[in-house]
Structure 1
């Protein structure tokens, strides 16, 4: 079995309670129940965000993460190709901006596409808001801290560990868990 497949299976396991999390096929963070957006939904959300104001790709990534409380953070490998496609279709255009950073704005064709189904746009933003409410404001920070702990543990466990060192590591983790429960 390929190493990539093993890693993917480790990150995203389907159980009786839904997806456990991890990264999606195209670099987007998966939620507990799979992909955050259905086919074409990200495109619609990008158009709606650009309708509100011109933005750079990174600003779109940050806005999506903020609006979902960290439940969804698309990778640049998802945002930039979508912007390029929308530009090719005439739905968005570059609006100038700093050297090296493309600023995008919605075009009349993009507005017409959004006007075709405002109900879907409102439903997508309601879903994002709901995810943000359930995620809580600290979720991205907690996930980052957990990722740091996991990386530190993997790095440490890759080297030889004595029984005493292992007891100390396990004790620190247990103490931290107890402290968190008490707060």
Structure 2
């Protein structure tokens, strides 16, 4: 298990993690991503492409409710059905969170989750821009300069 070496969670485990976190405190998708990153000490950073479909599934199953009363972002809260599902799977939920805590302890001195997230965000942004089509010379220079500037700033830190 673990981060870039393969799947961090077994099939279906992310549902338990998200429900467990929401049971503790309703949250937005981004907050759930951050909570998972923090819990595992940066060993894994779930992408929005994993989190939001799982939240949609949990909503469709009746395990969470979705509210936009707090603004444009969706707030997810657990339902009685979601709590019952967690309770029915208590042993699995406990084991998944124990694995997460163990990963976090092993990574105690590892990369900060914020840095892992930022690296993944940069990689995705560059990939999406390159997929939009050819770059002009000016665009190429602008992107290369931004990356070089970021590297120099990191090197000086």
Query: Higher helix share goes to which structure?
Result: 2
Please report the TM-score for the alignment, with normalisation by the length of structure 1: 0.60
After the TM superposition, list the runs of 4 or more consecutive aligned residues in structure 1 that deviate by more than 4 angstroms: 141-147
Q: In structure 2, do the counterparts of structure 1 residues 32 and 101 end up closer, same or farther at CA, with 3 Å as the change threshold? A: closer
Measured after TM superposition, the shift of residue 118 of structure 1 is 0.8
Q: Which has the larger radius of gyration?
A: 1
State how many pairs are aligned: 126
- Report the CA distance between 1:95 and its aligned residue: 3.8
Counterparts in 2 of 1:28-177, with a 5 A limit? Answer: 31=3, 33-140=5-112, 155=144
Structure 2, unmatched stretches of 5+, are 121-125, 127-143, 146-154
Structure 1: gaps (5+ residues): 1-18, 20-29, 157-175, 177-183
Instruction: Give secondary structure in 1 for the equivalent of 2:62.
Output: coil
Label 1:54 to 1:142 Cα distance change in 2 as closer, same or farther (>3 A).
closer
Structure-2 change in CA distance of 1:97 and 1:58 (3 Å):
farther
- Comparing both structures, which one devotes a greater share of its residues to strand? 1
CA displacement, residues 69-97 of structure 1 (integer Å, 9 cap, x when unaligned): 00011011111111111101111001444
Deviation for aligned residue 1:32? 5.6
2:34 aligns to what SS in structure 1? helix
Secondary structure, aligned partner of 1:104:
strand
CA RMSD, 1 decimal: 2.9
Contact 1:91 1:106 in 2 (8 A): yes
